[in-house]
Structure 1
Amino acid sequence: MTENKKKLARAAFMIMVATVLSRFAGFFREIIMANYFGLSPARGAFTVAYRIPSLLRTLIADTAITAAFIPVFTQLLAKGDKEEAFKAASSLFSITVIFLCIITAASMLFMPFVIKITAPGFSPDEHLFTMTVNLSLIIFPTVVILGMTGIITGMLNSFQHFAVPAIAPILWNFIIIFFLVFYEKKLGIYSAAWGILIATVFQLAVQIFPLRGQGKLSFIIDFKNQHVIEILKLILPVTLSLGVINFNVFVDTVFASFLGPDRLAAIDSAFRIFHLPMGVFAVAVGTVLFPVFSSLIAKKDFEKFKPTLINGISQIFFMTIPVSALFISLSSPIVKTVYERGAFSPDDTKLVALALVFFSFGIPFASANTLLNRGFYSLKKNWIPLYLSFINLLLNALLDWMLMKPFSHGGICFSTSLVSTFNFIGLLFLMRREVGCIKIRDLVKSFLKISFISAVMSACSYVFYNYLFHITGVFFALFFSIVSGFLIFVFLSWVFKVKEFKIAKDIFIYKKKEVLISDR
């Protein structure tokens, strides 16, 4: 391996570790939030207030700009045209700031109207509605700041400065935690909002200093610059794709607002638990395989690409199905252990546990979808996941409406799981159409075998927990039941000769990442 490849491999590993640490830091932040606010109306108001700028950030200010900007900026640097690269970056930076300032100013001016659309169920409660508006006004300027951060992060990554952009989100979470711990008594829920604003400013500031040694950004607006035009064209499909995917969250918020702020906050709290293993395992496998996908596609080696993709999905199933099974069987003690302290009551635990059960059915498929999407991006077929996302959006709204009444907020979570499953099936068959015959039968066999072993494991863990609970209490009963469940899962995987068990052992014990790249 060349020195450059080793450097990139180390960078990829560092980014993966930083992403995992950031997820855990964010999860810890949510535990602190639950301790202070439980599922109170204030927590529900904050959930809505944060969701709107978060959606805009994802659509425009963060991922879309970075994904569209980096390829063009890197290409100019590779040609040795650093001056032109900084001209394009300066122009894009200026255009982005002006555009996002207009969006932010308009949104803040008409914030009551925005909240009425986003959370129509909050309108009858004047105090709750006003609180949501005020929280949104504090958080909304982060959209502009994150737009600036997205471009600077892209520039730093292009110069192969990965450390600061990777660590910044971890610090972002801890600054919010600091504000919650030291200002909650004085400011209440507003401590979280001010924490987000200050943390976002800090996240931008710490990334400006490493960039100063590379060049200087200027205030230039040049719509005729061909590189700026190219970047803006690339942003469109990425923004649309992210928009449709994230608009599902907006739809869920609209429906959940009619059930009350406690149900809306319960969905958000359950989502944090649901998203933790999904993010960790999908990131782990995706980080290893995405460059492999790109390399195989560049060589037009579809015969290796297909089994590598299936191996990756099977490995994600092997990691996430047992987690999903444990979340279903031990949802109440998990939520109780994670959240139930301070203002978070036993009734709150019941609401979050119900949401977690319904979310958990979709964990394996939502995780696998991340890898399938990367497969399409490697094929440069970005529009295929987008088309399917439009169908998912309509299906999600329909299922929310159908399932909300019989299952309350659990129905909204179950809708998310069903849509993830439908999306997985759709992506898999569309991938088969693009690259030819994929051994779906082998994938189904792996899924059924892992599901059976996971069901046995979760049943044993449930029995162990209920036996130990009366002796040791919740925490130790949960700990021993999860550990014993894990050992049972490993033992049964060995007994039934589960292929994914051997692959996982080779990757994590013997560091043989290449075992994923093989024919079936």
Structure 2
Amino acid sequence: MSAIKKPSRTLAGIAGIVAVATLISKVFGLVRQQAIAAAFGVGAAANAYSYAYILPGFLLILLGGINGPFHSAVVSVLAKRGKEEAAPIVETITTIVGAALLLVTIATTIFAEPLINLVAPGLSDTSGVGSLTKAIAIQQLQIMAPMALFAGLIGIGFATLNAADQYWLPSISPLFSSITVIGGIAVLAMQLGHKITLPEYAILGGQVLAVGTLAGAFLQWLVQVVAQWRAGLGTLRLRFDFQHPGVRETIRLMGPATFSSGMMHINVYTDLFFASFIPKAAAALSYAGLLVQTPLGIISNVLLVPFLPIFSRLAAPEDWPELKVRIRQGLILTALTMLPLGAIMVSLSVPIVRVVYERGAFDRDASKLVASLLVAYGIGMFFYLGRDVLVRVFYGLGDGDTPFRISVFNIFLKALLNFIFVQPFGAPGLVLSTMGVNLTSMVMLLWCLNRKLNGLPWREWGIPLIWLTAGSAIAGVTSWGTNWGLQQILGSEGLLIQLLQLSVAGLVGLCLFAVFAIQLKLPEVDIFVSRIRQRFFRGSKG
């Protein structure tokens, strides 16, 4: 029996391919968001898109994303079987998933208005801009409904190609959505030679965003399925081999994994539910979130991905002393990156937003709104990634139930904190509530680990984190002071001047933090430097 794939690449080489492709996709994603900001600001088209995209985007991330349930289930099944079994399994799974998601597509199209009412009830209680936003969102959701079908097919194709040792194309394919949306906005700009009213522009812009997003998902699936055919791993043939052991195993893995992963995304819906009562909040959350998720995604891949296999190898009780050392390393490395980065985002939130977004329809008021959200995001960055480190520990120990139970509890906690924080803080309260959930998750996970591992060295872990927090605060204040001083000398207008001030102020803050961290003589500083050198200076050799 010939294997479906041969390990022709090293683990580091595969990680390098995925990292580069992910970086390229994220850069295009940022450019796409800049184009949306310039064209629509935080107006009705962009605000409506945030609501309309939640269901198609949720399915695309859940079903079509790397390490999602479809990807994980199909890879785990195909990797253990011969190539001659791949096509029957893939074609049968595609038939089952395609039929189910086709029904979801039809239902989404028919019930688009009730779904928007469910996601954004605040739009129903307003007139003028609110009613326009709701109408645009309904139309956008109907246009993007087929993404439910493409999401599942993309996830299956992604997994099939990975099982065949093909990583570049699946990892780079998400940029198609960015390209099509940018292209649609460019065409819209060229067609606006005649005068149209603001509502007409918003409606037309909403259509462009929805069609561009759907076209990107279609292209992402198309390039994957062509590569899949060429590799002999199945076609679009309908197959009903439901009793095949590989098919049954895949379905058995998909069900619980999809449910568990879906629980994590309910918090996004909770935020948009409350955001619908706050003007322009949904679009602002999207803009600020991308500024945070871009560095978070890159840093987590570079620093934390290698820890999961390490945690798994140290799961036996006799290895727990070493496991505790590795957990400390993960948390300190997270602090070394997230604390100073978060402090700088807090202190330089306004210039960051102005440099990235402020042009076209994205005006000074929009910058202030998004900057206020970026401040809240910056405060909670350490807790966001620290929680992920601890979840990886539980997975390494073979315990997926504890993180799942905590995530279920967090759904109710998130809703409660949103209710509490939105009234005094407005839109930033939505982000602060997320920080509260992540902080609570870390405390609960650490408490459970303390019991599971027969005690944790709290003092050994806590003191370095306190010092790193203090150093980050000093770095943030220094960055703010540097930026303020440069503004007194150079002014604050002009993209090049803003970029220069931002770069200098951020660099001064980071350098000060680096000097501070070195003085602490933490072994994790050496690990951090080593990881950076391996990833960016030695390529896949690391």
- So what's the TM-score if we normalise by structure 1? 0.92
Q: CA deviation at 1:511?
A: 6.8
- Aligned residue number for residue 332 of structure 2: 314
Partner residue of 2:49 out of 4, 21, 46: 46
Map 1:387-426 to 2 at 5 A: 387-426=405-444
Partner residue of 1:133 out of 94, 116, 138: 138
Q: Which amino acid aligns with 1:37?
A: F
- Aligned residue number for residue 174 of structure 1: 179
- Aligned residue number for residue 196 of structure 2: none
User: Do the aligned partners of 2:136 and 2:206 also contact (CA within 8 Å) in 1?
Assistant: no
Aligned partners of 1:298, 1:499: CA distance in 2, in Å?
25
Q: CA deviation at 1:184?
A: 4.4
Structure 1 residues 113 and 184 mapped into 2: Cα distance closer, same or farther (>3 Å)?
farther
Q: CA deviation at 1:60?
A: 4.1
Indicate whether 1:486 and 2:510 are aligned: yes
- Aligned residue number for residue 158 of structure 1: 163
Aligned partners of 2:166, 2:153: CA distance in 1, in Å?
17
SS in 2 for 1:75: coil
- Aligned residue number for residue 109 of structure 1: 110
Aligned partners of 1:464, 1:309: CA distance in 2, in Å?
36
- Aligned residue number for residue 145 of structure 1: 150
Q: CA deviation at 1:461?
A: 0.9
Q: CA deviation at 1:231?
A: 1.8
Q: CA deviation at 1:319?
A: 0.5
User: Do the aligned partners of 1:322 and 1:454 also contact (CA within 8 Å) in 2?
Assistant: yes
Q: CA deviation at 1:505?
A: 1.8
| Mean CA deviation greater in 213-222 or 295-304 | 295-304
Aligned partners of 2:178, 2:189: CA distance in 1, in Å?
16
Indicate whether 1:338 and 2:356 are aligned: yes
- Aligned residue number for residue 211 of structure 2: 194
Aligned partners of 1:300, 1:337: CA distance in 2, in Å?
52
Aligned partners of 1:126, 1:89: CA distance in 2, in Å?
44
User: Do the aligned partners of 2:70 and 2:156 also contact (CA within 8 Å) in 1?
Assistant: yes
- Aligned residue number for residue 223 of structure 1: 242
Q: CA deviation at 1:464?
A: 0.8
SS in 2 for 1:232: helix
Indicate whether 1:507 and 2:507 are aligned: no
Structure 1 residues 240 and 58 mapped into 2: Cα distance closer, same or farther (>3 Å)?
same
User: Do the aligned partners of 1:237 and 1:383 also contact (CA within 8 Å) in 2?
Assistant: no
Aligned partners of 1:457, 1:383: CA distance in 2, in Å?
39
Partner residue of 2:229 out of 212, 227, 237: 212
| Mean CA deviation greater in 263-272 or 395-404 | 263-272
SS in 1 for 2:398: coil
Structure 1 residues 463 and 240 mapped into 2: Cα distance closer, same or farther (>3 Å)?
same
Q: Which amino acid aligns with 1:181?
A: A
- Aligned residue number for residue 240 of structure 1: 259
Structure 1 residues 89 and 477 mapped into 2: Cα distance closer, same or farther (>3 Å)?
same
Structure 1 residues 75 and 431 mapped into 2: Cα distance closer, same or farther (>3 Å)?
farther
In structure 2, the gaps of 5 or more residues are: 1-5, 192-203, 493-497, 538-542
User: Do the aligned partners of 1:307 and 1:438 also contact (CA within 8 Å) in 2?
Assistant: no
- Aligned residue number for residue 376 of structure 1: 394
How much identity, in percent, do the aligned residues show?
Answer: 28
Structure 1 residues 136 and 160 mapped into 2: Cα distance closer, same or farther (>3 Å)?
same
- Aligned residue number for residue 40 of structure 2: 37
SS in 2 for 1:128: helix
Aligned partners of 1:270, 1:510: CA distance in 2, in Å?
30
Q: Which amino acid aligns with 1:89?
A: V
Structure 1 residues 74 and 6 mapped into 2: Cα distance closer, same or farther (>3 Å)?
closer
Q: CA deviation at 1:347?
A: 0.8
SS in 1 for 2:53: helix
Structure 1 residues 5 and 311 mapped into 2: Cα distance closer, same or farther (>3 Å)?
farther
User: Do the aligned partners of 1:58 and 1:242 also contact (CA within 8 Å) in 2?
Assistant: no
User: Do the aligned partners of 2:48 and 2:206 also contact (CA within 8 Å) in 1?
Assistant: no
Q: CA deviation at 1:174?
A: 2.5
SS in 2 for 1:380: coil
Q: Deviations over 1:123-147 (max 9, x none)?
A: 2443221111001111121121121
Aligned partners of 1:59, 1:101: CA distance in 2, in Å?
16
Map 1:8-19 to 2 at 5 A: 8-19=11-22
CA RMSD of aligned residues (A): 2.2
- So what's the TM-score if we normalise by structure 2? 0.88
Q: CA deviation at 1:105?
A: 0.5
